[in-house]
Amino acid sequence: MADTIELKRDLKRVLAAHLDDPSTAWSLGTFGAIAEFMRDPDEPVVIERTDETLSAATGRGAIRIRTVEDLRLVASESATRDSWSHRVALCLPADGCAMNRRTCLTELGPDAEAVRAADRDAILFDLGLDTIQIDACVRVSDAGLLARLRSGCGRPLSAPDNPAMPLILAASPHRVFVGRLGRVEVFAPIPLAGGKSPDGPHTHVLPELLRHRRTHPATEPVPHGFVPCAHFYPAHPLKDPIGTPRPYDARHDSAFQDLMQAFGDSTLVDLKNGLLTAISAGTDPAAFVVPDDRFARASIRVGLRQLQAAHGPSPAVAAWRQVHDGTRHADRKIDDTDNAGH
């Protein structure tokens, strides 16, 4: 309990500890447009801290997080097809999270807020995606590309007569996603059409998801009146930061449960704890009542999978999963989209 209280008291300490940890991945964005920052354990990194910001930069990307007064951390877990995912959202009140919501390609001038000093003379262009909590931009220093992008300004990026998108895909300028809580910058090349995103920092812009006009996946429980503007993804007990399976690690499981206790929905935390108590007591799984709520169902499914991961298969857990973790409990596919993939 004391550790939970300390976590709640010092959000900046929590954020700084995870920024220092190379096993934690980060993202900033919205449903359908996201920039991710991650680094290898032995990768050179420059980490800086001020009274209001935390930043890290590598040769492949950079991140800056602002610790503002209205910041609220929200830890949550979701059931995936065979396992579970987890994350901690950095949320702001809905009436204080909005960015500029430009709808056309727009030149913004030199990027004076770039994490690295060497990038501050390059020119930012807002792509005009009209998303609520981020401005999705590219940063350009090449004179030829600058001139050609300027010819597309004032028009939507998707306009048939706008040459900007093919130019951006071909040139791979820095991508810079900016929000009220900071920014993520990606220096790695944009993969070719049909190619795989790099293992390090990268971006996703998915028009088919942006059309839903949502701020986050429906599988993520976010308190009413708040919007998730960024996330961090602590080390997972069963997979590395890029999703490759690995043997169960109890330390990572325990560390995230501490975050759930401090920053998770208390109703869901209590429900999962009640599940574990019921299984230990030999309760009939059919007698365990789960609220008719997608997040409650997901919490039970996650709890059962975590129990099996920690202790291996057992007849008791198999019986409970038969009742509470069947396909009839899964929610609609569109709502199971995990925008960040962690």
Q: Are residues 1 and 19 in the same domain?
A: yes
Q: Are residues 167 and 187 in the same domain?
A: no
CB atoms within 10 A of CB 115: 23
Q: What is the pLDDT of residue 287?
A: 95
Last residue within a domain, chosen from 118, 147, 179: 179
Q: Are residues 106 and 86 in the same domain?
A: no
Domain count, the chain: 2
Q: What is the pLDDT of residue 331?
A: 42
pTM: 0.91
pLDDT tens-digit map of 307-330:
999 999 999 999 999 999 974 444
Q: Are residues 150 and 21 in the same domain?
A: no
Last residue within a domain, chosen from 179, 214, 230: 179
**Strand runs (DSSP E) across 160-248, as ranges?**
174-179, 182-186, 202-205, 226-233
Q: Are residues 90 and 146 in the same domain?
A: no
Last residue within a domain, chosen from 179, 194, 212: 179
Contact 82, 336 (CB under 8 A): no
How far apart (Å, rounded) are the C-alpha atoms in residues 274 and 288?
A: 9
Q: What is the pLDDT of residue 242?
A: 77
Contact 130, 102 (CB under 8 A): yes
For each of the chain's 342 residues, which pLDDT tens digit applies?
455 555 556 899 999 999 999 999 999 999 999 999 999 999 999 999 999 999 999 999 999 999 998 999 999 999 998 899 999 999 999 999 999 999 999 999 999 999 999 999 999 999 999 999 999 999 999 999 999 999 999 999 989 889 999 999 999 999 999 999 999 999 999 887 766 777 899 999 999 999 999 999 998 999 999 999 999 999 999 998 778 899 999 999 999 999 999 999 999 999 999 999 999 999 999 999 999 999 999 999 999 999 999 999 999 999 999 999 974 444 433 233 344 445
Q: Are residues 323 and 226 in the same domain?
A: yes
Q: Are residues 197 and 146 in the same domain?
A: no
Q: Are residues 82 and 186 in the same domain?
A: yes
Q: Are residues 81 and 207 in the same domain?
A: yes
Contact 179, 229 (CB under 8 A): yes
Q: What is the pLDDT of residue 265?
A: 96
Q: Are residues 17 and 75 in the same domain?
A: yes
Domain of residue 152 covers 98-179
Q: Are residues 171 and 282 in the same domain?
A: no
| First-to-final CA distance of the chain | 27
Q: Are residues 245 and 295 in the same domain?
A: yes
Q: What is the pLDDT of residue 342?
A: 53
